[in-house]
Each structure stands twice: as C-alpha cells, then as structure tokens.
Amino acid sequence: MNDQVLRFTRPVTLAETAAGMLVSTIAGWQKDPDRIVQLGLTGGRIAQHLYDSFGSRIEGSELDPGRLELWWTDERFVPTDDPARHAGPTLAQLAGRFALDPARTHPMPAADGVADADAAAATYAKELDDVRFDICLLSIGPEGHVAGIFPGHPSFEATTQSVIGLTGSPKGEDDRISLTVPALGRSREVWFLANGPDKAHATAQALAGDPGIPAGVVRGEQDTRWFIDREAASELPWYNCSL
C-alpha cells in the first residue's frame, strides 16, 4: 500500500489535524463495543502538541478513553521524575483531559531499582507480549531515526526481539529502551510526524524507501500516513500544502 502524505503550512495545523483524525479514527473502531484500541505513543515537541489537541477533543466525541490502551515506542532510561522521560509530560497532558485507566496505560520502566536498560527492555517486552498497535505514532529524526532506532547503529541491526535496551546512543544522551523495527512494523497503521527544515532530507529519503534509515523501512501493515509541514516537505517532488 502506498504512503499517504499530508502537507501543512504550519506545525500547529499539522498537530491539530492529526489529533482530529486520531480521535475520529479511534471512535470509528470503537463502534465495535468489544474493541480495545491499541495506541503507540512517540516523543518530541510536535507529538506533545498533538497530545494536547487530542486530549482537548475527547469530551463530546464518541471516543471512549476507557477502551484505549496506551503504549510507548521508546523511552530514556532515567528515573521516573526525570523531565527527560517522554511518559511524564504526556501522561500529565492526557490525565488533565480524561481519566486514564492504569491497567491500560503502559509507560516503559524507569531507572528506579531496575538493573539496566536491557533488564527494563526485557520487562517491557513481556508486558507488550504479542500486542499489535492499531496506530503507532512516530516522530522522525534529522538522520532518519524513529523511536530509539538509529541508522548505522546496533539498534538497527536485524533482530527477533520486540524491545531492546540501548547504550551509547548516537545522540549522546542517556541509555534508552526502544521497540524494534519488527515490533513497530506489526502495527496496523503507522503515522509519521515530521516538521522543520532539519527533517527535510530524512523525510525525502524515508518516503523514497531508503533501506539505510529506520524511517525508510518502518511501515504499517495496512496504512502509513505522513503528517509533514512545509519545511519538512521542501525536498519532496512537490510541496504544495494540503492544509
């Protein structure tokens, strides 16, 4: 299936449109009264804007947050209260908008009493088990990384694992925990978020299917959507904006 590319004049329009589509898509699936929707969350500034808009739209919508299961695609292996963790600000944003079911909210383990990132990854892999995301949200990095998977790095090597621990991140940050390419690719739909001029080259490479970068190979089993602002779309064959 071909990638669906949506271009936007401004990042705020990108985030708000993606949030609206997320609410309507999840609500549509939940018309099946037994359906629990599995959602994979990503980090990054544009994702935080999306979560804020998403949370604000739930009241009055047909989306039932009690039948929404939340997972994370990657996380920095730091203590729970460290502001660098993705889960902290995301949970704060969403909890301020609707009630989160603790049994269906799955932040990755923090470095509080856990031996190392590998042990945390093994714990999360057991929790994730064979779950397949209905929608997996992914931000794309300037070098084409997604989640904690980087080009030219052991994290991008072929594996049968679903979750891995990472040390020596190319970004020079803390250790990480990340879903692997196979785990991300078993999602029903993957929605990429890309904004800013520093993402332009990687976005063009990824949409061309460059096998040398993670964003070039991760795709949804049924659909893949790209939400891209004008600057991130500047190296595409054409970049007139949809919205």
CA distance 29 to 21: 12
Q: Is the pLDDT of residue 242 over 60?
A: no
pLDDT in tens, 154-175: 999 999 999 999 887 776 667 8
For residue 138, tell me if it sits in a domain: no
Q: Is the pLDDT of residue 115 over 90?
A: no
Q: What is the DSSP secondary-structure string of the chain? A: -PPEEEEESSHHHHHHHHHHHHHHHHHHHTTSTTPPEEEEE--SHHHHHHHHHHHHHHTTSS--GGGEEEEESEEE-S-TT-TT-SHHHHHHHHHTTS---GGGEEPPPPSSS---HHHHHHHHHHHHTT---SEEEEE--TTS-BTTB-TTSGGGS--S-SEEEE-S-TT--S-EEEE-HHHHHTSSEEEEEE-SGGGHHHHHHHHTT-TTSHHHH---SSEEEEEEETTTTTTSS------
pLDDT confidence of residue 238: 65
CA distance 78 to 108: 10
- Provide the number of structural domains found in the chain: 1
pLDDT in tens, 5-59: 999 999 999 999 999 999 999 999 999 999 999 999 999 899 999 999 999 999 9
Average of per-residue pLDDT values in the chain: 93
For residue 137, tell me if it sits in a domain: no
Give the other-Cβ count within 10 Å of 131's Cβ. 16
pLDDT in tens, 49-89: 999 999 999 999 999 999 999 999 999 999 998 888 989 88
Residue indicated by tokens 């460290």: 82
pLDDT confidence of residue 167: 84
| Listed residue (74, 223, 78) closest to 150, CA to CA | 74
Q: Which residues, 6+ apart, have CB-to-CB distance to 41 below 8 Å? A: 47, 51, 70, 71, 72, 73, 86, 90, 137
For residue 193, tell me if it sits in a domain: yes
pLDDT confidence of residue 168: 72
Task: Provide the residue range defining the domain that includes 34.
Answer: 4-131+143-229
For residue 185, tell me if it sits in a domain: yes
Residue indicated by tokens 């929790």: 127
For residue 235, tell me if it sits in a domain: no
Q: Is the pLDDT of residue 150 over 60?
A: yes
For residue 75, tell me if it sits in a domain: yes
Check: CB of residue 39 under 8 Å from CB of residue 134: yes
For residue 57, tell me if it sits in a domain: yes
pTM: 0.94
Tell me, rounded to whole angstroms, the distance of Cα 165 from its chain centroid: 17
For residue 53, tell me if it sits in a domain: yes
For residue 87, the domain's CATH number is 3.40.50.1360
